[in-house]
Structure 1
């Protein structure tokens, strides 16, 4: 669906169609009429004729005060942007030889991120000789996910990527 900006709208003499469907100032349907009749009706009402749906057959025009209409549209767009929630990805890094208390601290941080609605990327980094035991360390990530299963679901299973192993968690709906 194409989003129209206010500047894309045609008003009064900019409308070049022969016939248009007209909506009155109070929102009532005035029917299909010639462009001259529509302009005359808008002029009599003391407001503008604004083409609001150019893709329709015939195009839809509304008799409305253009300045007020423009203001209302901008306000609606601003409200829609306010209600959008951006989901961030928070990263938690651990090592394969992490101690239980450190792991509990990381679990608490992950729980906090998840309850705020963010996704969590858990990265286990391997260094040196730890690379030889990557498969044996997967249980740490699985245990971490089990600890958080009351508030999280595994979005992507643990997977080795180069020198690290990555797992994604998302908030449980």
Structure 2
């Protein structure tokens, strides 16, 4: 990986998709007003001067989530942030879907997320399967659905996204 100057795409030019992976929100079983995570993500993106943001709700179904990511990648969405589906239940599939799509996994993102989570909530933080990777011209992050986890994930993302986008623009 090069750490020098890059002349790739600029952060405020990117297209972003926020995917909320939740069976109950996607089905209408829960009111969309109960979705507090996407508001935090979008607010943090706007703080980074990112304005081209689209939000979508997906069930936790592997095929549905995979199809949404395929479409986002095909339509040249540079940044995809998934919230939800990172736990250990049978319906938590964000980790598997992200890993199936990505050509390169950013191991350090998940490692740092879990390290910081353990500092905040104790060893339960090890159960998170937060992850990140790149495919073609998209970078994908997968965060847990809780407000605190989203805040933590977005803090980490905000520190690294400029460099990732610049490198991807050079490819």
> Does TM, normalized by the shorter one, top 0.5?
no
The normalised TM-score by structure 2 is: 0.30
Q: Which has the higher contact order (CA 8 A, sep 6+)?
A: 2
Work out which of the two has the higher radius of gyration on C-alpha atoms and give 1 or 2. Answer: 1
Which protein has the bigger helix share?
A: 2
Which protein has the bigger strand share?
A: 1
